[in-house]
Amino acid sequence: MTYQCVATSVAGFVQQLAVSYVARGYYFYVTGRIPSDKDPAKTDEKILGTYAIDVSKWVRARRKRWGLARVQYLRWSREFVILASHGEQLFFEAEARRLQDVREAPIQFQGYSIGCRKSPHDGKWHVSVRIAPEPYRELKARFELVAVHRTVEELVRELRSVPFEPYAPVRDQMRAVVRAVNRRRQAAALEPVPVALLCYHRRPIKPFGPDPD
């Protein structure tokens, strides 16, 4: 079976990265962008071959038992990320200068910040997908600016069209945006925006299937 590594949408890339890789212990990573004069398919082939990524799940299981790192590769358009789990692997030596740990430095991708946070309840690391700080500040400021110049229906429509999948941290951020909007509307004696009208259901998609849009 051919190794699938080319996501067909931003949402698919984020889902595969967060749910299938980071959540399963692929904490170490490097990111990159393929130059416009290079063939992405050739870059894929080179990376897959260099780090012996295109192998069966049985080989990955044996590597894990032997204490060897498992490596994954994921690309959307010309942006890519190579990830590795704990263990020994050529990847760590070859990428030593660029290597980062997602638990310390979240992956920044198309306005998302994909990282890991240790739970105070069970002490385990849990994947966290949220809107990156700068895009979030811009988003919040934009809605605060129009808060008293839109109807409730218009604001709800615009809030629902925000292009970020509703992972739990994103939902928390969007609730904070609505609270900020409602503070402005309350000061102007306007009807508040009901938080319950936001979209809180994330629909799983096929990362390597047709673009859901």
* Whether the predicted pLDDT of 213 surpasses 80: no
Average pLDDT over residues 7-22: 97
The predicted pLDDT at position 212 comes to 60
The Cα 30–Cα 25 span in angstroms is 15
CB count in 10 Å sphere of residue 74: 25
Strands (DSSP E) along 95-171, which ranges?
A: 100-101, 107-109, 112-118, 125-131
**Spatial contact of 76 and 13, defined as CB atoms under 8 Å apart:** yes
**Per-residue pLDDT band at 64 (split at 50, 70, 90):** confident
* Whether the predicted pLDDT of 194 surpasses 70: yes
pLDDT digits (tens, 9 = 90+) for 141-167: 999 999 999 999 999 999 999 999 999
Rg (CA), the chain: 20
* Whether the predicted pLDDT of 210 surpasses 80: no
* Whether the predicted pLDDT of 177 surpasses 60: yes
**Spatial contact of 208 and 4, defined as CB atoms under 8 Å apart:** yes
CB count in 10 Å sphere of residue 55: 14
Look at the block and give the residue holding tokens 């660029």: 98
pLDDT digits (tens, 9 = 90+) for 81-137: 999 999 999 999 999 999 999 999 999 999 999 999 988 888 899 999 999 999 999
* Whether the predicted pLDDT of 1 surpasses 70: no
